[in-house]
Chain A
Amino acid sequence: MEISLTVNGTEHTTDVPDNSLLVEIIRERLNLTGTHVGCDTSQCGACTIHMNGRSVKSCTVLAGQADGADITTIEGIGTVDALHPMQEAFRENHALQCGFCTPGMIMSAIDLVEKGKPLDERSVREGLEGNLCRCTGYHNIVKAVLDAQDKM
């Protein structure tokens, strides 16, 4: 089937098998490999992207469900020279070690901050419940998100 979707501001039309997943289109068709596949069972959140302005796990969305959608991936939020404030905060606060979970963490954290409610440590931890990190112990991730909320 043919689907059209806008990814990081660019419209793409592509022919895909009926049973393909959104994350497969993002990574294998569009070569945007910043979005990671961790568990592939919708638990770890490494594949988190924004779909029509909401954070979703792209390993648990069929390509057909994303037809007509506006998608933002980790590649769409900043550049190497001008990092997104959330990326900058992760760097400043040493909020990553191996980095595998980081794209999903950052996409979730941006959605959390953009919802506009003031965040404290507890609400950041609850808000990031859908993202797993196996290195940092979360402490510096929480610090980074609290830091970034004042700069976004």
Chain B
Amino acid sequence: MYRFNYHKPDDMAAAQQMMADAEDGVYLSGGMTLIPTLKARLASPTDVIDLSGLALSGIELADDSLTIGALTLHSEVAAGNEILSLSNLALAIGDAQVRNRGTIGGSIANSDPGADYPAAVVALGATINTTAGAIDADDYFQGLFETALKPGAIVTSVTFPLPGRAAYEKFPNPASRYAVVGVMVAETNGDVRVGVTGAGPCAYRQRNFEQALADNFSVAALDGLEVDYTEFNSDIHASAEYRGHLVGVMARRAVAQII
């Protein structure tokens, strides 16, 4: 690892000041992506600002939503809450040790194309709460590792509206457990949202699936629907065309779970 200065601020204001003062700073949450990146010398920040001293952990239930603090561990979300599909998603992230360190805020701030949480953020229509205001799920993911998060801003929590019914299905890379493709289908009062991760540069909504399911919430409703894979990821694990195929398969499996 390149040398860097390590900081552990006690409060939000101090953390943001450290970022402002740093020549090339980076926030550290659980570190499950950032630390391997630093070790592989794929990044060389001058300052690493560890957010673990901030009080941003915990799950809070309101009348019609669930708010999860940014520092809440995957294992804590996986342990169970009012959104079963979200617990199941968290339980399928990485392995036990990764789930014991990785956080929802870190995952969403990083926006890895193969991360699981972004599918839920998009499908459940979540709100990303940050130190620079709230961002709607539909505006948040903008590209490969690119989000609407403002420079220096910190994700503080994510608010998920409680869905009527929802399910997540993924085709995991057997070694890393990252999603080759992951799809969450959510239905609330007739409104259907389909969030896809792993396939493209960032999470997105599969709108033609949503329309078909809104008309007829069944596995068969998805038969023969096209997925435009021209901009999809292609790597040693799966071609863009294969990922396009998997979007349909995972969506059908998710629907089958909840009808």
* Interface residues of A, Cβ cutoff 8 Å to B: 1, 17-19, 21, 40-43, 45, 48, 54-57, 60-62, 64-65, 67, 108, 111-112, 127-131
Please judge, given known A-B contacts A48-B97, A129-B177, whether A17 and B35 are in contact too, CB under 8 Å: no
Name the one of A43, A48, A62, A129 contacting B31, with C-beta atoms under 8 angstroms: A62
Binding site for A on B (CB under 8 A): 1-6, 8, 28, 31-32, 35-36, 38-40, 48, 50, 52, 75, 94-98, 100-101, 175-177
Q: List 20 A-B contacts (CB under 8 A).
A: A18-B6, A19-B4, A41-B39, A42-B32, A42-B98, A48-B97, A55-B100, A57-B97, A57-B98, A60-B32, A60-B101, A61-B35, A62-B48, A65-B8, A65-B50, A108-B96, A108-B97, A129-B95, A130-B94, A130-B95
Verify A61–B31 contact, CB threshold 8 A: yes
Contact of B6 among A19, A43, A57, A128 (CB under 8 A): A19
The 10 tightest CB contacts between A and B, nearest first, are A130-B95, A18-B6, A54-B100, A129-B95, A64-B6, A130-B97, A57-B97, A60-B35, A19-B1, A55-B97
Distance in angstroms from A26 CB to nearest chain B CB is: 15
**Bound complex: CA A130 to CA B52 (Å):** 23
Q: Are the CB atoms of A19 and B2 closer together than 8 Å?
A: yes
User: Which chain B residues border A61 with CB–CB below 8 Å?
Assistant: 31, 35, 101
The answer to whether B39 and A40 touch across the interface, beta carbons within 8 angstroms, is: yes
B3 touches A19 (CB 8 A): yes
Q: Does A42 contact B35, Cβ atoms closer than 8 Å? A: yes
B75 contacts across to A, CB distance below 8 A: 54
- Interface contact A130-B39, CB-CB below 8 Å: no
**How far is the CB of B218 from the nearest CB of chain A, in Å?**
30
A18 near B5 with CB under 8 A, answer: yes
Q: Is the CB of A62 within 8 A of B6?
A: yes
Residues of chain B contacted by A17 (CB below 8 angstroms): 3
Separation in Å of the B55 CB from the closest CB of chain A? 15
Q: A21-B35, A61-B31, A67-B8 are in contact. List 12 more A-B contacts (CB 8 A).
A: A18-B5, A19-B4, A19-B38, A41-B36, A45-B95, A54-B100, A55-B96, A60-B36, A65-B28, A108-B96, A129-B177, A130-B98
List A contacts of B28 (CB < 8 A): 62, 65
Assembly CA distance A88 to B3 (angstroms): 42
Q: With the chains together, A64 CA to B75 CA distance in Å?
A: 22
Give the residues in chain B near A45, CB-CB below 8 Å: 95, 97
A138, B36: Cα distance in complex, Å? 26
CA distance A65 to B36 in the complex (A): 15
Q: With a 10 A CB-CB cut-off, give which of B1, B32, B50, B97 has the most chain A CB atoms.
A: B97
Q: Can you name the residue of chain B whose Cβ is closest to the Cβ of A64?
A: B6
